[in-house]
Chains A and B, each alone.
Chain A
Amino acid sequence: MQQAGNGRRVAVVAGCRSPFCKSGTVLRDVPAVDLAKHAVVELVHRANLTGKEVDELYFGQVVPSPLAPNIAREVSLLPQFPPSIPAASVNRACASANSAIATGRDQIVLGHADVVVAGGAETLSDIPILHSRRFSDLLVGLSKAKSTAARVKLLSSFRPRDLVPVTPAIAEPSTGQTMGQSAEKMAKLNGITRESQDEFALRSHKLAHAGTEDGRLLAEIAPILVPDSSGAVSRDNGVRADASLEEMAKLKPVFDRRYGTVTAANSSPLTDGAAAVLLMSEEAAGAHGFEPLAFIRSYAVAALDPGDQLLMGPAYAVPEALDRAGIGWKELGLVEMHEAFASQVLSNIQAFESRQWAQEHLGRAEPIGEVDWDTLNVMGGSIAIGHPFGATGARITLTLANEMKRRDVEFGLISVCAQGGMGFAMVLERS
């Protein structure tokens, strides 16, 4: 077993998150940095921290606001903390919060820190819209121009079309393919049918609804008071109790209108939200009187050619993380897979279970393992709960750690696919 560092064990001792809400809905006017602060303030309260215990803070965000580019530092400047907590923002696309957690874990293992707050936030209600390059050049030129004549000359070069803004798309800069197109491609290549995708999405909603109703998901959520809105938001608003295959079947595929299978219903929605976890060295947890939810056993990150099957990263990261943990798939009592698209989850599961895939892509004789559907995404996943890019990793870590404690499971696995052909996997353990 490969154990990095000096062998200090790192515990996930607490966590909490904002409700996850579809972009453009109730959290529309709350900037990501405020969502992040909300989640962390609540974490401080729920964990009964004074704030002084925290050594470092890492936070994930994929589309930062130009007004607060280092979201992590804004969060670590919360008045609950001393100003002396260094902080860094992390971007590994949809695995950003996972990377924040992994970084925090590493700092603790290295002995650089004892207590770390890690998490992520995203709002897709407030994407920065860019001016065209010509318009930017004009503005910069005007501010530098020394004479009125120079200004007039610059202004005369202005054309109305310069005002057309540039909206960033969720596309791979390297290939121009959007996430959805990639998911569509994977469905076709791996033979994932529309029916199986819709069934998986339905499963996500049913389980998330059950998890909300029985309070397990609500327990993660810190209700948030939205300015100028009546009352508090205390639930994820993407989870549909009334989801049905019939309704889903009526939706048109988005990315390939003729032969496509990926629809709004079997994809994760654009979402606003934030989540954070509290990491401690085992000793620090003991000293502060915490009973850890779980310990981080190992993690791994993998990457592949984005022009290939973009979202297959987990199929590479998971076996590596299991190897580093020194355990096999069979020993996993719970698995949390990020659900970007049903086609992506099902493609990865296909790979996990395929001997041929293992031989061809990993050079292994045996498949990674066979999925036990009773232990996979037991409270649903990103399709139903939502997917604020920067926050999802922390939400999944928290959901898994909580459930491992409830079920008293020995090992649990996290798997997250990310833009750029990356995959992230982490193994948590109890005892």
Chain B
Amino acid sequence: MGAFTIRVEDGIGWLVLDLPGEPVNKITRAVRHELDEALDRLVADKEIRAVVLISGKPDSFIAGADIDEFVALKSREEAYELVRSGQALVNRLERLGKPIVAAINGACLGGGLEAALACTYRIASDDPKTRIGLPEVQLGIIPAAGGCQRLPRLIGVRAALDVILAGKQLAARRAYRVGIVDELVPRAILEEVALKAAKRLAGGWKPKRHRRGAADLALDRNPLGRRVVYGTAKNQLLKKTRGHYPAPEAALSAVQHGMKHGIESGLDMEAAFFAELAVDDVSRRLVQIFFATAALKKDPGVEGDAPDPVPISNLGIVGAGFMGAGIGGVAVAQAGVDVRFRDTDFDRVAKGLEGARKILKGRLERRRIDKYEYRRLDRLLSGSTGYESFRRLGLVIEAVFEDLDVKHEVMRAIEENVRDDCIIASNTSTIPIARIAQVADRPERVLGMHFFSPVAKMPLLEVIVTDKTAPWVTVSAVAFGRKIGKTVIVVQDQPGFWVNRILGPYLNEASRLLQEGVTVEHIDKAMTKFGFPVGPVTLLDEVGLDVARKAAEVLHEAFGERMEPRGSILRMIEDGRLGRKSGSGFYRYEKGKKLEVDETAYEIIEAAASSKVPREDVAQRLVYAMLNEAARALDEGVVRSPRDGDVGAIFGIGFPPFLGGPLRHLDEIGAKGAVATLQRLAETYGDRFAPCPRLVRMAEAGERFYPA
């Protein structure tokens, strides 16, 4: 069966796309071929005066090009051929000689939007599933089927760059407001309105596009104004990408070039850029991460036959502090979960409720929800000083003070009050889950759910399982984490779990470098240049030096000398400098804003007057400390696969996505090269750099973490 069907009704040809055997419509080689044929028939049929392009799927218009096809590209030539054929097809849509109405319901992304842009008229349903955008740059490529040409011509350069450079997906209402679609209608009358529009267009009607704001006009309608727009966009872009991501810059050039030299020339440039980017390492890494997160979304979290997850709609949170409030707020805002806080006095409960409400209010302010939905969801937040209502709960997460006795007390209290099938999770970042579960009557339902701070912003969740945790408990916790919008990896119950384990040596190395006289700026710049969103010293300040120190001690206790923290952090803590939260750390802060480096910090940590560390060694010491530990922890089974480890490092630490994660990066370097570098570092700086057994083995056998 084909993907396209044509139905002729009353002079209007309905071109319906319904890709067989797929949940969503995507543009495959076969679809392109069939479309070409379908267009032949639409042209040939004299009865047809106008066309409606519509999807046969319930909630997907066209989700974009087929990524598998794009990944299989071997060479620039192949990529060039692919993009040219796509461009030709879209051009053909535009020049069909008969007006085409795109009736859009569901995802209209990438190539799907580019096709729609070539249509004469666009109508979108106001269904929440209707998302419209050009996400190409997120995969390291650019919209190359005319997206960089037709969108700026339709909605103006500034608005188009907004959509293209961030790879944004707009809700239908937004898309209507900026002018991408001509009409916004309820789902139920989409076909009816499309038919009317097609008939009017057949009768020679020329639709008027709505006008943009005055500021946009002033900037867009003249070359000088456009130059201002391009300049601003480029500056903002470079600030974000730091030159590591070529795609947005290429898209910007394609837009700029096309606007100056005409659409044909712009298309040439799109094609040239696409061919280059599609087989580039950055795109390859970004696509790999895309696939890894997509695979993670389907991964139940246990091996073999996974039991069905128990759906959780009632969540209890013991300890209504900053973390607890964050978890509760995200659970309500993301998934409408009923959240019950419990803390020792009602003022603490009230603080937690306020914190959670703030997250909900943020969504209201960003118009993700309206005030009615806000009020409804707000009612799902409640709290008390007792455990009286815990029998309702399917999951309890404790986020109380990091003290084993306190955790034990809380664990007993929870178990006394919940149903037998209630899952109990700890949000500890330092205490082994098995030790917390020691006092549990049913340790099989106990696990760790390690959220990162601030919960609303950090996408990762580590679900930590002990050797007693039952599979149904794991899959349910994983499913719940996903439901509230987190990327979830399942991690073994070892000190530091995954993220803090590989972060530990990296941060230790940063404080060593500080003591050796390397400046704060140098260290931070070295790592942002490498691709981290913030440098390690800034990160220490953000996390809180006391928290970082506690985590470091746990690792030291578990892993010995290799993880020995320096005294510098301790001296800072003794001086009352805990980082951002105390108003001063290695940097100074004023009213929540980070200011310059606090020079007095060097005295406190007794830093050497000047550094003897070669510049290039600074970055290497930091990065290799992390890479080595990642390989070691993977070898010990802390994460279930290199995929989980890399996703965890990217989403939990901000490891540069264009490098694909620490393990992918090690593959890139090669085990042999990595071992050599580590040996050199070990000789110069100490045994902590000794390459871990796994890397040594891999170097000998010529192995990789991922298949080549």
A residues at B contact (CB < 8 Å): 37, 41-42, 44-46, 48-50, 78-80, 222-223, 225, 231-232, 234
User: What are 21 A-B pairs at a CB distance below 8 A?
Assistant: A37-B379, A41-B379, A44-B392, A45-B340, A45-B388, A46-B388, A48-B388, A48-B389, A48-B390, A78-B379, A79-B336, A79-B338, A79-B377, A80-B380, A222-B384, A223-B346, A223-B384, A225-B350, A225-B354, A232-B346, A234-B346
Nearest Cβ in chain A — how far from B349, in angstroms?
A: 7
CA distance A79 to B389 in the complex (A): 17
CA distance A285 to B231 in the complex (A): 71
Q: By the criterion CB–CB under 8 Å, are B353 and A225 in contact? A: yes
Nearest Cβ in chain B — how far from A82, in angstroms?
A: 12
Q: By the criterion CB–CB under 8 Å, are A80 and B347 in contact? A: no
CA distance A79 to B374 in the complex (A): 11
Nearest Cβ in chain B — how far from A80, in angstroms?
A: 6
Which residues 346-361 of B have a CB within 8 angstroms of A?
346-347, 349-350, 353-354
B382 beta carbon closer than 8 Å to chain A: yes
For B390, the chain A residues whose CB sits under 8 A away are 48
For B384, the chain A residues whose CB sits under 8 A away are 42, 45, 222-223
For B389, the chain A residues whose CB sits under 8 A away are 45-46, 48
**CB nearest to A234 among chain B residues:** B346
- Given A225-B353, A232-B349, verify A42-B392 contact (CB < 8 Å): no
| Total contacts A-B at CB 8 Å | 46
Known contacts A46-B389, A225-B350; 4 further A-B pairs (Cβ under 8 A): A42-B382, A48-B391, A50-B392, A79-B336
CA distance A231 to B347 in the complex (A): 6
B46 beta carbon closer than 8 Å to chain A: no
B366 beta carbon closer than 8 Å to chain A: no
Considering the complex of A and B, which 9 residue pairs feature the smallest CB-CB distances, nearest first?
A45-B389, A48-B391, A232-B346, A232-B350, A48-B392, A225-B350, A223-B346, A231-B347, A79-B376
For A225, the chain B residues whose CB sits under 8 A away are 350, 353-354
Q: By the criterion CB–CB under 8 Å, are B350 and A231 in contact? A: yes
CA distance A44 to B391 in the complex (A): 11
For A44, the chain B residues whose CB sits under 8 A away are 392
Which residues 391-450 of B have a CB within 8 angstroms of A?
391-392
0/1 string, B330-351, CB within 8 A of A gives 1:
0000001010100000110110
CA distance A225 to B349 in the complex (A): 9
Interface hub of A49, A222, A232 (most chain B Cβ within 10 A): A232
**CB nearest to B332 among chain A residues:** A79
Q: By the criterion CB–CB under 8 Å, are A49 and B380 in contact? A: no
CA distance A234 to B380 in the complex (A): 20
B residues at A contact (CB < 8 Å): 314, 336, 338, 340, 346-347, 349-350, 353-354, 376-377, 379-380, 382, 384, 388-392
**CB nearest to A77 among chain B residues:** B376
**CB nearest to A42 among chain B residues:** B382
CA distance A178 to B391 in the complex (A): 48
For B347, the chain A residues whose CB sits under 8 A away are 231-232
For A222, the chain B residues whose CB sits under 8 A away are 384
CA distance A42 to B353 in the complex (A): 14
CA distance A231 to B388 in the complex (A): 21
Nearest Cβ in chain A — how far from B669, in angstroms?
A: 52
Q: Which of A46, A50, A80, A231 contacts B379 (CB 8 A)?
A: A80
- Given A80-B338, A231-B347, A232-B347, verify A45-B382 contact (CB < 8 Å): yes
Q: By the criterion CB–CB under 8 Å, are B392 and A41 in contact? A: no
Q: Which of B336, B349, B392 contacts A45 (CB 8 A)?
A: B392
CA distance A80 to B354 in the complex (A): 20
Q: By the criterion CB–CB under 8 Å, are B382 and A41 in contact? A: yes
**CB nearest to B349 among chain A residues:** A232
Nearest Cβ in chain B — how far from A85, in angstroms?
A: 15
Nearest Cβ in chain B — how far from A117, in angstroms?
A: 15
For A42, the chain B residues whose CB sits under 8 A away are 382, 384
For B392, the chain A residues whose CB sits under 8 A away are 44-45, 48-50
For B349, the chain A residues whose CB sits under 8 A away are 232
For B377, the chain A residues whose CB sits under 8 A away are 79
CA distance A50 to B392 in the complex (A): 6
For A232, the chain B residues whose CB sits under 8 A away are 346-347, 349-350
Nearest Cβ in chain A — how far from B344, in angstroms?
A: 13
**CB nearest to B314 among chain A residues:** A50
CA distance A261 to B380 in the complex (A): 48
CA distance A44 to B384 in the complex (A): 13
Q: By the criterion CB–CB under 8 Å, are B380 and A79 in contact? A: yes
**CB nearest to A45 among chain B residues:** B389
Nearest Cβ in chain B — how far from A188, in angstroms?
A: 46
For B380, the chain A residues whose CB sits under 8 A away are 79-80
Interface hub of A37, A50, A222, A225 (most chain B Cβ within 10 A): A225
For A79, the chain B residues whose CB sits under 8 A away are 336, 338, 376-377, 379-380
CA distance A42 to B347 in the complex (A): 17
CA distance A107 to B379 in the complex (A): 28
CA distance A401 to B338 in the complex (A): 29
For B314, the chain A residues whose CB sits under 8 A away are 50
For A234, the chain B residues whose CB sits under 8 A away are 346
CA distance A169 to B475 in the complex (A): 61
CA distance A222 to B336 in the complex (A): 22
CA distance A49 to B391 in the complex (A): 9
For A50, the chain B residues whose CB sits under 8 A away are 314, 392
CA distance A89 to B170 in the complex (A): 42
CA distance A41 to B389 in the complex (A): 11
Interface hub of B377, B379, B390 (most chain A Cβ within 10 A): B379
**CB nearest to B391 among chain A residues:** A48
CA distance A64 to B492 in the complex (A): 57
Nearest Cβ in chain A — how far from B502, in angstroms?
A: 40
CA distance A49 to B382 in the complex (A): 14
For B388, the chain A residues whose CB sits under 8 A away are 45-46, 48
Nearest Cβ in chain A — how far from B386, in angstroms?
A: 9
Nearest Cβ in chain A — how far from B675, in angstroms?
A: 57
For B350, the chain A residues whose CB sits under 8 A away are 225, 231-232
CA distance A429 to B85 in the complex (A): 84
Interface hub of B347, B350, B354 (most chain A Cβ within 10 A): B350
For B346, the chain A residues whose CB sits under 8 A away are 223, 231-232, 234
Nearest Cβ in chain B — how far from A349, in angstroms?
A: 37
CA distance A231 to B350 in the complex (A): 6
CA distance A49 to B349 in the complex (A): 21
Nearest Cβ in chain B — how far from A55, in angstroms?
A: 19
For A49, the chain B residues whose CB sits under 8 A away are 392
**CB nearest to A78 among chain B residues:** B379
CA distance A222 to B377 in the complex (A): 19
Nearest Cβ in chain B — how far from A295, in angstroms?
A: 23
CA distance A45 to B392 in the complex (A): 7
CA distance A305 to B349 in the complex (A): 50
Nearest Cβ in chain A — how far from B347, in angstroms?
A: 5
CA distance A48 to B419 in the complex (A): 11
Nearest Cβ in chain A — how far from B346, in angstroms?
A: 4
**CB nearest to B382 among chain A residues:** A41
For B340, the chain A residues whose CB sits under 8 A away are 45
CA distance A49 to B354 in the complex (A): 25
CA distance A406 to B384 in the complex (A): 23
For A231, the chain B residues whose CB sits under 8 A away are 346-347, 350
For A48, the chain B residues whose CB sits under 8 A away are 388-392
For A37, the chain B residues whose CB sits under 8 A away are 379
**CB nearest to A223 among chain B residues:** B346
CA distance A78 to B382 in the complex (A): 13
Interface hub of B336, B380, B388, B389 (most chain A Cβ within 10 A): B389
CA distance A41 to B340 in the complex (A): 11
**CB nearest to B380 among chain A residues:** A79
CA distance A37 to B382 in the complex (A): 11
For B354, the chain A residues whose CB sits under 8 A away are 225
For A223, the chain B residues whose CB sits under 8 A away are 346, 384
Nearest Cβ in chain B — how far from A405, in angstroms?
A: 16
CA distance A80 to B314 in the complex (A): 10
For B379, the chain A residues whose CB sits under 8 A away are 37, 41, 78-80
CA distance A223 to B350 in the complex (A): 10
Interface hub of B338, B353, B380 (most chain A Cβ within 10 A): B338
For B382, the chain A residues whose CB sits under 8 A away are 41-42, 45
